[in-house]
Amino acid sequence: MEKPVAIVGLGALGSVFAALLARAGTPVIGVCRGQEHREAVEAGGLLLREGEQESRLRFPVVPELPGGESLALVIVLVKSFDTETAAKSLAGRVDSHTPVLTLQNGLGNAEALAAHLSPDQILAGTTTFGALREAPGIVQITGRGECEIGAWRPAGERYLPQVKELFMRAGVECRLTAQTAATLWKKLAINAAINPLTALLHVRNGALLELEELNPIVGMVVEEVWRVAARHQIALPTPPELKAEVLRVCRVTAGNRSSMLGDVAQRRPTEIDAINGAVSRLGRERGILSPANELLAGLIRALSAASRSRPSEDGEAT
């Protein structure tokens, strides 16, 4: 019997990956602490929408991963500020030979998992899927993307082919990389520009292309990411190339609302400390100031605090 894949965190992206894997016939266990969503999936399954197509998938959903379960893979998709809690929960419940993959936004997630699990079992990567959790038990793919994954330590490379096979079987394009840190930092540069600006302006991704005033700001943000990455010996594309990639992502995800915009709108904590806040913090460690990223981080923290008095709205994950 095929071993199940555990999805830790059934937000928008976690629900999409759980549904795609389940639809492909892979046994899935969803780990979801949100009672309303968990009960909806338990009662009626998870409804996946993509365009005009709908699929209803049924799989077990639990608030905590049971101990002693033999798993093919664990995918961690909680918000970055919950990674430490998730890592502690997985410790002792997942054996050291089970690969654990983070596809989360920002920096620090793999480190948090490696601190409580075996570093050799940690995989890390990025995804360009867009997703919206419309209501408890209902999730929509708003943009079909791909994954790029690598091993956190060389010993983990042995897990990569089997994880790629699981994704490809589920219809998820997956590329393997030997430059795991660079992959995470490149996605960080994209998130550092798109997420806070869309949240501050309350606009969808494509609107950033229409506001010429944002061009120099995007340029400053990605150049700071590039400079901090270089000081940490992470080789990234040049700042102009990073800026071009930000604009490309805005074009292909023009209709999406960023996860940070959704978090602010729904009065939830944001991942700003793992994105722009991480750039500022890691820059200071190497004697580099990152004023654009530090300013955006401060503005998002203030906006997040102020948003508690606003009506709640749905948000999308990017």
Mean pLDDT of 62-80: 93
Answer for the pair 246, 193: CB distance below 8 angstroms, yes or no: yes
With contact defined as beta carbons under 8 Å apart, do 47 and 25 qualify? no
pLDDT at 84 over 70: yes
Q: Is the pLDDT of residue 27 over 60?
A: yes
Q: Are 19 and 55 in contact (CB under 8 A)?
A: yes
Q: What is the largest CA-CA distance in the chain?
A: 57
| Residue 307 pLDDT exceeds 80 | no
Q: Does domain 5-178 have CATH number 3.30.2350.10?
A: no
314, pLDDT greater than 60: no
The per-residue pLDDT for range 159-172, each reduced to its tens digit, is: 999 999 999 999 99
The pLDDT of residue 80 is 96
Q: Is the pLDDT of residue 317 over 60?
A: no
Given a cut of 60, is residue 260 above it in pLDDT? yes
Per-residue model confidence (pLDDT) at position 22: 97
The C-alpha atoms of residue 59 and residue 61 are separated, in whole angstroms, by 6
Query: Using one digit for the tens of pLDDT, what is the confidence trace for 132-165?
Result: 999 999 999 998 889 999 999 999 999 999 999 9
pLDDT more than 70, % of the chain: 97
pLDDT of residue 24: 97
What CATH number has the domain spanning 181-317? Answer: 1.10.1040.10
Residues with catalytic function: 187
**pLDDT one-digit tens code per residue, 35-45:** 999 999 999 99
Three-state DSSP class for residue 105: coil
The reply to whether domains 5-178 and 181-317 share a CATH topology is: no
Label residue 66 by pLDDT band (50, 70, 90): confident
Alpha helix stretches (DSSP H) within 152-270? 160-169, 180-201, 207-210, 215-231, 239-252, 259-265
Q: What share of the chain is helix, strand, coil (3-state, %, to 5)?
A: 50, 20, 30
Residue ranges of domains in the chain: 5-178, 181-317
Q: Which residues pair with 15 in a beta bridge?
A: none
Around Cβ 93, how many Cβ atoms within 10 Å?
A: 18
Percent of residues, the chain, with pLDDT higher than 90: 89
What average pLDDT does the chain have?
A: 94
* 9, pLDDT greater than 60: yes
Helix (H) / strand (E) element for 139: namely: strand 138-143
Q: How confident is the model at residue 310 (pLDDT cuts 50, 70, 90)?
A: low
Dihedral angle over CA of 135, 138, 140, 145, nearest 10 = 120
